[in-house]
Amino acid sequence: MPAMVLQPVFSYSWPIVFSVFGLSGFILGWSAQRGNYCFVNAMTSIFTVRSFERFGALLILFGLSALGAGLLVGLGIIPASDQYYFNYFGGWYILVGSFIFGFGAALAGGCNLSMLYRAASGYVQNWIELFGMMIGTYIFAIGIWPFQLYTMEKGILSTTSGGYIEYIPYLLFHNVSDSSVLVTTLIYSLPLIGIGLYLQHYTKKKWNKASGSFFSLAPKISAVKSFGGGNLPSPTSVPNKIKLSQEAKDLILLKKPYGTNLTTVILALDMLLVFIVGAGYTFNYLVITSSDGGRFFEYIMMMAGQNLFITTPWFNDSLPIVDTSTLMVVMLCVGAFFSSYLSGDFKIRIPKERKRLLIGFIGGILVGIGVRMALGCNVGLMWTNFAQIGYDGIIFLFGMLGGVYLAVKVQERL
């Protein structure tokens, strides 16, 4: 039986762990804001404009995260237990919860990641969505969690162990040796990266073909000019080195937003940073924003004299307010605020259609219910589980796609 005990891989004090996790949250918020990175938008674009570019980036993100974490384990740098230890129980609730989450997030206009960085950038609708998510967490805690917990404990359409039981190297090879992890990592991550790159190439090729008719006049214009047909400007050829240098300068000076793939690489590296530094210390993956939303609501209710951690089962197991996950959420918002403010993007934005605020609130409630039912959000479960080389992330991905599709169809009628 694989080990289920975590031991710190590297020796340093807790302040170091907290500092790195805070830095990671800042990087996450900064880069996601600069790249306008949103899981929901990546999926809605499939059904609205038939674009797979951002969805392809998501698959690349999942693949890079799985490849990096898997190589660290397969090469013996990080123990396998640090990769599978926090694997969630798989069951019906992940599929149903991710569907509800996808539907609510698409209505509200953003996933848990984009909801936070846009709220920090001044989007009032996302503030309302955040509050709705807290209410949704409470509704889940009192109305759904007792039944869901019963099915999990009894194994009704659910696993009962989590951990290595849902670790694909163990499922394939019945062990978690370095070689089994390494082989599984390659057959799990490389296809994700390859499919993501193909989808991006396919989309760019399709859009270039669609816009080709506009540029088809260029040869005619060139021909007219060569026969003395007027003083038309000639295209200027700029050396590639100069182009790259100027682009890098614009990115550093915040004059230009990050491209989708640049943001993807930064986020994947950020995931690996906390995976290494947090190994053996704590949940060594990126933020669990849904849990933190519920915990903030718990502390708000405490100020009103209501102790949810005493009266409500789900809140009995909620974590302390001061931990690495909460710090990452706070620093995510700080990073997004500074990114938007320094680039001139920060502005208090209230939607012209006031109904968007109500829709954002309702969507936020559904997000809160969905992520708690699924035991995590698009970051804390789906993306994380791909890095864990599990299968729950795959279930979440298809459930979320289904919910987003339904939301697109509903919004077409609103």
Q: Dihedral (C-alpha) 76, 79, 80, 81: value to the nearest 10 degrees? A: 170
- Residue 286: C-alpha distances to residues 101, 126, 269, 336, 408 (Å): 19, 21, 11, 16, 28
Give the pTM: 0.90
Both tokens of residue 71? 């190589």
Residue 399 lies in a domain: yes
Question: How far apart (Å, rounded) are the C-alpha atoms in residues 35 and 120?
Answer: 15
Please give the tally of structural domains in the chain.
1
Is residue 225 within 8 Å of residue 24, measured between CB atoms? no
Residue 350 lies in a domain: yes
Predicted confidence at residue 240, as pLDDT, reads 65
Long-range CB contacts (< 8 A, 24+ apart) of 315-322? 315/141, 318/291, 318/294, 319/291, 319/295, 321/295, 321/296
pLDDT tens per residue across all 414 residues of the chain: 686 778 999 999 999 999 999 999 999 999 999 999 999 999 999 999 999 999 999 999 999 999 999 999 999 999 999 999 999 889 999 999 999 999 999 999 889 899 999 999 999 999 999 999 999 989 998 999 999 999 999 999 999 888 999 999 999 999 999 999 999 999 999 999 999 999 999 999 988 887 765 444 344 334 333 334 444 343 444 456 677 778 888 888 888 999 999 999 999 999 999 999 999 999 999 876 666 666 777 777 777 877 777 777 777 665 556 688 888 999 999 999 999 999 999 999 999 999 999 999 999 999 999 999 999 999 999 999 999 999 999 999 999 999 999 999 998 887
Between the two ends of the chain, the Cα-to-Cα distance in Å is 54
Predicted confidence at residue 314, as pLDDT, reads 78
Sequence-distant (≥ 6) Cβ neighbours of residue 333 within 8 angstroms: 29, 116, 117, 119, 120
123 by DSSP, 3-state: which?
strand
Domain that holds residue 37: 14-209+250-411
- Residue 340: C-alpha distances to residues 34, 82, 254, 317, 356 (Å): 8, 35, 9, 35, 22
Residue 275 lies in a domain: yes
Residue 236 lies in a domain: no
Predicted confidence at residue 191, as pLDDT, reads 98
Residue 242 lies in a domain: no
Using alpha carbons only, what angle is made at residue 193 by residues 188 and 194, rounded to the nearest 5 degrees? 100
With tokens 């990050």, the residue in question is 258
Predicted confidence at residue 46, as pLDDT, reads 97
Residue 370 lies in a domain: yes
